[in-house]
Every structure is written in C-alpha cells, then in structure tokens.
Chain A
Amino acid sequence: MSAIYNASRRGFLKTSALAGGGLLIGFTLPGASRLAQAVSVFSPNAYLRIGSDNQITVICGLSEMGQGVHTAIPMLVAEELDADWSKIKVEQAEADPAFNNPIFGMQATGGSTSVRGHWEPMRKAGAAARAMLVAAAAERWNADPADCRTEKGMVVHKSGKKLSYGQLAAAAAKQPVPTQVQLKSPKAFRILGRAARRLDTPAKVNGSAKFGLDVRLPGMLTAVMARPPVPGGKLVSVDDSKAKAIAGVKQVLQIPGGVAVLAEGYWAAKQGRDALQIKWDDGANAALLSDAVSKMLAEGAAKGGALGRNEGDVGAPVAKRLEAVYEAPFLAHACMEPMNATVWVKPDEIEVWAGTQSQGPSQGILGEVAGVAPGKVKVHTMYLGGGFGRRFAPDFTVDATLLSKISGKPVQLVYTREDDMKAYFYRPASVARFAGGLDANGKAVSFSASICSPSLMEASGFMKLPADGVDAMAVEGIRDCPYDFPNLRVEYARREPGVQIWFWRSVGHSQNLFFIESFVDEMAAAAGKDPCEFRLGLLGKQPRFRGVLELAAKKAGWGKPLPAGVHRGIAVAHSFGSYVAEVAEVSVGRDGKVRVHRVVGAVDCGLTVNPEIVKRQIESAIVYGLSAALYGKITFKDGRVEQSNFHDYPVLRIDEMPKVEVHIVASTEPPGGIGEPGLPPVAPAVANAIFAATGKRVRKLPIKAEELKQA
C-alpha cells in the first residue's frame, strides 16, 4: 500500500482493491453542499481507505493550520461510516481537482469554509462506504442487508454474527457504489457534536510534525532574497562579490521579485543576502507615508462613493444626530512560521512542498511559471505554521519556483522574520465615517456609513470589483448590519495607496465590526441606554444575533458588579455563517495601559462538529484580534515599512492573556464557519469597555495608551 495516495490515478466513481486487501473509496455529490440530499450523481472528491488491519485513513485535501480541519473532516466521514474513532488516521492529499473545495470551486482552505463545504460530501462518502461494507457482509452471510447494522467498525447481523470493517474491506471493494445514501439524523450522531481528540496533537508535541520549513531534499539549496524596500521599487544594480565570497554560497540570481542568494543552508544564504550591495530605484512610492494614507482614506470617506445599500431616507430630520470617523491600519499576519516554499523544477514536472492554503490555484500559477501543465505540478501540502489568510498568497511559491527553474536545483526559499513582516500582503487600512440619528425617545432611526479602503477584490487577482463599484469585502459587516434602522445608507469609496493588500483573519469584518460595533455603542451612550439592551432593541428580527448576545451577557454577568476599576464592553457580529457575541472585562491604568482580564464569548455556529475545537477557535480568534487591537499596525515612512520583528510588531504574550470562556448556543441549523467568526467582536468589546472605564472613545486602532492616560 503506497503511503502517498495519488488521486490522479483514480477513475470516476471507481473503487479499487488495495494491495493487501482493502477498500479505497472516493466519491461525493458534486459541488453543492446545499442541494437536496437525494441527488444521486456522485463525483470524486472525498477519500477514504479501509485496510484489512482495520486501520481507516481519511485523505484530507484541506490545509491544517491549527483550525482543526485534519480532525473535523475525519469526524464527518467516521460518523456516517460508524467507524471506531480510535482507528482513524488522517493523511494530507496531494493537490488534485478531486479535492476542490465545493464553496470555492478550487482546492483551497480559507474563508472558514471547510466544514461548511464538506459537511455533506464527506458524510456521504462515509455513508456510501458503510453501505458497501454492509452489502459485503450480507453477501458473505447470505443475509438480507436490512438485517445488518453497523457499530464502531463492525457489521453486526441480527443473529449476533459480526465482521470487522477490516475483514470486509476486500469484499466491500467489489460492491457497486450506491447511487443514493441515507444520512443520519443529527440525533443519531455519536461522533459529531462530541469533543474528539485532535489527530495532529501527538506529532505536534514531539517535534516530528513537518512544516514547510522542515522539508529537506538531497542537493537542496536554501535561498534568502533581497527585495525592493519600497512597493513597486526596481533593481538598478547589484554587487554580489562579497556575498559570493561567503563559504557555502553557491549562486546569486536575479528574478522579478528581487535578488536571491542560494547557499548550503540558511545561515550562509542569509549572510550572503545581507552582504549584497544593491542600488534600488524606489519608484513612484518613494515618499509613501502612513499619515498621507490616513488622509487619503479620510478624504475618500468624507466624499463618499458607490452606493452599497440605501433604505428609507437618512437625510430625514432626527431629534439627535451624532457623527464619528473610525480608522484601522494595515496589518501583517505574522504567522509563527515565516513564509517559505520548497520547489524542485524537473524537466517535465515540478514538485512543490509548502504550507499553502491554495494548492489548487498553485498548480495553475506555478505550472505557468515553470512552463508545465497544471497536472504536472505536484503540490505536497505541509503543516502550516499559521495561515490566517497569508498562506493563500502565491508570492513565496512563485519565487521558489523561479529560483529552482533557473538554478536547476531543489530550492527552499526562506523569508527571514523581517522579510516576512515587510513583504506586504497586509490587511487593508480603512476609514469609516458614520452618522447616526436618534428620535426623541432615544430610538435609533437612521444610520449611514461611508467606508474608504483599497479594493481587496481587485488585489486578490481572482476577483473583480463588481459593476456597482462596491468592494464586497470592504463593506462586509456594515452593509449587512443586522440592526433595525428604518433609514440606512452604506457607501464605498475606493482609494489605492499602492500597497499589496490581502485576506487577513476574518477579512473586512476584522475592521468593520470594530467600526460599527463601536459606533452603535456611541449611539447607545447618546441615547442614555444600556449598550446590550440598546442592541437587543434593534435586533427584533434577528433571533440568532439575540441568542448569542443574551447568552454572552448572561454568562458574563452583564449588569452585575465587578471588582473596582474593571469595566465591561460588549459587541456582536455575524461572519462566515456564524454568530458571535463577546463581553470583555477591562481595566485601564493611570498610565493608560489597557489590561483585558476576561472575555466571555457566545457562539451560534449551527450544528457543531467538535465543540472543543469550536471553543478553541473562538479563543484563538480572540487572542489574534486582541493582539491587533492592542498593538497591531504596519506603517510606512519614506516608502518603507517601519516594522520588522516582534519588538516593533508586538503580539499578545502569556502574561497578558485574559481568561476566556466560550459558550455554544445549541442549534440544529447547518454548520457555520469557525476559524474566523470569533475575531470581529473582540476589538469593539474591548474599546467599548475602555469607554465604560474612561469615558474616552477609541476610534483608531491600535489602542494608544497615551491617549487613555488619566491626569
């Protein structure tokens, strides 16, 4: 049995007996997770291998970056298979269109889509395999399949006879693939909805888990690159004589992305890179300055732009009107594992080893770079040392491919931490200008938002700004705001400061929910109402928003006394199909230093696959969002990124970590996403708590201690 499963050898709707006797199965419904369950056309994309040793291997096409997908996907299969969870293993699939994410139509991991997209197809793969095992057992016993049931990896006849899945695997492989399968009612679940242990934990506690940077190939060279220090800058000249004099340095190569030093090992490559003497032409962005970007975005928001939503008349007279302008900065992802890729361009195929979120698109992109067909691009997905959207980008794989192609060697391109921090692909900076109106009773009657930011859809390279001129990601979380404002208007103004922007955990929601949930808090304060009650009063038609808000408030003890100096803030958000409310307990020192003591979250993500992973993902997103709210900013001066490493791009440390409690709303709705939805509410919950503590409104991130100092 080959350890690496080559999906391209599999035929349509085909099962095959494995050497040594086993069942290999790969099929599911095409694309449509939301179609009726009875659709009977299967097309391959989910895979399962049952060995005669009872070992069950689920082959997962999605990237594991901490979000738990290498556990969640096997749980979906195992549930309908009635497998013994202790016998389940997971294996990473090579890139193949058969593993396309049904929501994206390409093989990629992001947008909190994995469980949403594979919820039905993976369960159907398990159910079909189960039916074939039952058919095989019934045939062996000369019995009616209806008299057979399955439990924990066994087919059991009503007489009490039993056969294990391993014993039946070879015979099951000869059974026809069922065209229709019956899925369990959630009430019958015995694996889903329970806290199965993560399958990747053992390898991640003993150093054996292989990340992209851990790939070692015979003859491999390590590359470290010098890139233009200003976006859009160009190479004028390079003197590489000092670099080439360093022991271990083998080649110095120029590619469009910059100058690369290829060496035996990282240390020689890095020293060689540092020894390059380069003249750059800084180009049009030589004077790029963050203050000017702020001004550009503020002017755009003031001017307004394309109309995203317009209901009623926001110009109608109100008893009380308030306005505010909010701003969020560019942000780096700062994954713990710096960007890297290992590529070997061979005469008629290329092999790629990378922690990537976009192995499907990579096949096409890297095939074009290397001059081979997409099918000749083998992508081995390694564990990702953090993704957060950053590893959806192709910069590191493209440059590694070019370097291998030119050098003729397997090349591992490594970004130093500083390279990684300065390599752009930032969360877009954004400014939002709000106006809100209250009637004489303090009820919110109008709301308008004008948002200005660069267009992420255009920056992505695979989306276009829609005909209405509104970038969906620039306005998400505000255009679809749940509040019952009878008069509501949302505009988008596009401005392009000239910096490559990218998807960052929870995308537009990451800044937009800070904006709107802070402004709604301002409206509550202006109305003289409790911020939680004020929101509930505007959510009459939104039971799931109300549900999480009420649960978070209840569990946090909203309205009950707190220790002296500690104050609460609340916020609620919907993103990626899930609803999350968070209450932050915060104190602000006399020096303005903000301390977050506890965050209580409530999540409604529909049916839960693994409640423990759900809670951890909400907690993880809270920490990621807190780092950004308290510290995160990428700024430019003289065209150059000012941040470089964790001293000037700080992230939360264990001594700053709040207590986190996460509560799950019981739900029978289809599953929502979970990797991102916990992030958007945390910054506004903290900022609103700061207002409760100090009376000062944070309207620009990151939160600045000097502005919160008490005299």
Chain B
Amino acid sequence: MISLSVNGKNISVNDSPDTPLLWVLRDTLGMTGTKFGCGVALCGACTVHLDGAPVRSCSTPVSAAAGRKITTIEAMAASPVGKAVQAAWIKHDVPQCGYCQSGQIMGAAALLAKTRKPSDTDIDAAMSGILCRCGTYNQIRAAIKDAAQSMRTGS
C-alpha cells in the first residue's frame, strides 16, 4: 500500500511502486482531468503539482509521490492562484480542443505561485515544455499575464 495525499485527501493505493502517478490518478482513482499525451515527459499534458512544483506525472513513479502533496486540475478552483488562472482562461476563451489545457493551467498556476509578475522569458521557461497542437500559445500568454494582474490587484 502506498499512502498518498491527493488534493488534500489521504488515499491508499495498491499499485506497484513503479506505476507512473498519471495512471494511478487516471485508472486507480478515476481522476481523468490529468491527461496522457506522450508518456515520456515531452508534452506536459500530464502536469500536476508535487508540493506545489510542476511535475510530469507520466514519468513520476507513484512511490516518489508518497508523503507529498499532490495537486491536480480537479482542485485548481480551491486555490487563489488556480482560481485566477481558470478565470483568465475563461476570459480569454483559451481552449480549443482543450486536451492540453489541464497541463497548461497546472504549468501556469505553478509559475504564478512563484513569480507574481512573470516576464515573457519567465513564461517561455515555464511553459515551453507543454505542447498545444491547436496553437493557443498566444492566448495562454495573454491569460497568464491577465491572471498575474488580477492577483496583484485582487480583482
């Protein structure tokens, strides 16, 4: 048994320790908001937070997440940063197909939790590992800046 803290809840799972966290979330726990894109940390669709830092869950063994705080897209609305990011995503109507957007939002929220006023270079560094085939990058950039602004002004 591996004890996990997922979105503030303590859960024990029976998966083998080398099972990627992604599949524990999606298959064992039925939390399908976190997406499978490449399986080898090249596309970022599976991004979740581990103790607040963005990680690629497809390449993180569940054993490495034991005892740490796992946060997924399903809990984004519960944090002020996540809420601001989601509101900005809605304001800019960012998603097209939407498949990569859980990862994009997790990446953006992790960036904004650390960097309250990210520059374009900060955004490139934090987000260039998260692919979007629909080409929503310019809207993602605008929404991140908007979310940063709204967090600073408290609006």
Contacts and interface: CB of A to CB of B under 8 A. Distances in A.
A205 B101 contact: yes
Contacts of B35: 211, 213, 336-337, 385
Given A619-B135, A654-B140, A206 B76 contact: yes
Contact of B98 (A197, A383, A623, A646): A383
Contacts of A266: 23, 26-27, 36
A388 B129 CA distance: 22
A209 interface: yes
Nearest to B76: A206
B19 A654 contact: no
Given A201-B89, A336-B43, A417-B40, A211 B99 contact: yes
A204 B90 CA distance: 9
A66 interface: yes
B135 A652 contact: yes
B57 to A, nearest CB: 12
A113 to B, nearest CB: 18
B135 A623 contact: yes
Q: Is chain A's binding surface mostly helix, strand, loop or mixed?
A: loop
A231 interface: no
Contacts of B137: 623, 652-654, 657
Interface in B69-121: 72-74, 76-77, 86, 89-90, 93-102, 105
A184 to B, nearest CB: 26
A560 interface: no
A207 interface: yes
A266 B128 CA distance: 27
A242 interface: no
Contact of A216 (B23, B30, B77): B30
B42 A647 contact: yes
Contact of A207 (B32, B100, B131): B32
A659 B42 contact: no
B2 interface: no
A338 B133 CA distance: 12
A204 B95 contact: yes
A706 interface: no
A187 to B, nearest CB: 27
Contacts of B77: 206
Contact of A646 (B20, B42, B141): B42
B55 interface: no
A385 B101 CA distance: 10
B20 A267 contact: yes
B139 to A, nearest CB: 8
Nearest to A65: B97
A62 to B, nearest CB: 14
B96 to A, nearest CB: 3
Q: Is chain B's binding surface mostly helix, strand, loop or mixed?
A: loop
A383 B39 CA distance: 21
A207 B99 contact: no
A266 B58 CA distance: 11
Interface string B118-136: 0000011001111111111
Contact of A265 (B23, B94, B124, B128): B23
Contact of B34 (A206, A207, A619): A207
A308 B127 CA distance: 47
A386 interface: yes
Nearest to B85: A205
B12 interface: no
Nearest to B92: A201
Interface residues of B, number: 58
Given A336-B100, A385-B98, A207 B74 contact: yes
A616 interface: yes
A654 B127 contact: yes
A336 B27 contact: no
A551 to B, nearest CB: 20
A203 B89 CA distance: 11
Given A624-B135, A645-B38, A647-B42, A207 B124 contact: no
B134 A620 contact: yes
A406 to B, nearest CB: 22
Contacts of A657: 135, 137-138, 141
B151 to A, nearest CB: 16
Interface in A264-287: 264-267, 270
Nearest to A337: B99
Nearest to A626: B135
Nearest to A416: B39
A262 interface: no
A203 B77 CA distance: 12
Contacts of B135: 619-624, 652, 657
A646 B131 contact: yes
A59 to B, nearest CB: 20
Interface centre among B73, B101, B141 (most CB of A within 10 A): B101
Nearest to B120: A655
30 contacts: A66-B95, A67-B96, A198-B95, A204-B95, A205-B86, A205-B95, A206-B77, A207-B33, A216-B32, A267-B20, A336-B35, A336-B37, A336-B97, A336-B131, A336-B133, A337-B35, A337-B99, A383-B98, A385-B97, A385-B98, A386-B133, A414-B36, A619-B135, A620-B136, A623-B137, A646-B43, A647-B42, A654-B127, A654-B132, A654-B141
Interface of A: 64-68, 197-198, 200-211, 213-214, 216, 222, 247, 264-267, 270, 334-338, 383-388, 414, 416-418, 612, 616, 619-624, 627, 645-647, 651-655, 657, 659-660
Given A204-B98, A267-B23, A417-B38, 13 more contacts: A67-B96, A200-B95, A207-B72, A335-B133, A336-B43, A336-B132, A337-B37, A337-B99, A383-B97, A414-B36, A619-B138, A627-B133, A646-B38
Q: Which 8 A-B pairs have the closest CB atoms?
A: A207-B33, A623-B135, A385-B99, A66-B96, A66-B97, A204-B98, A207-B73, A265-B27
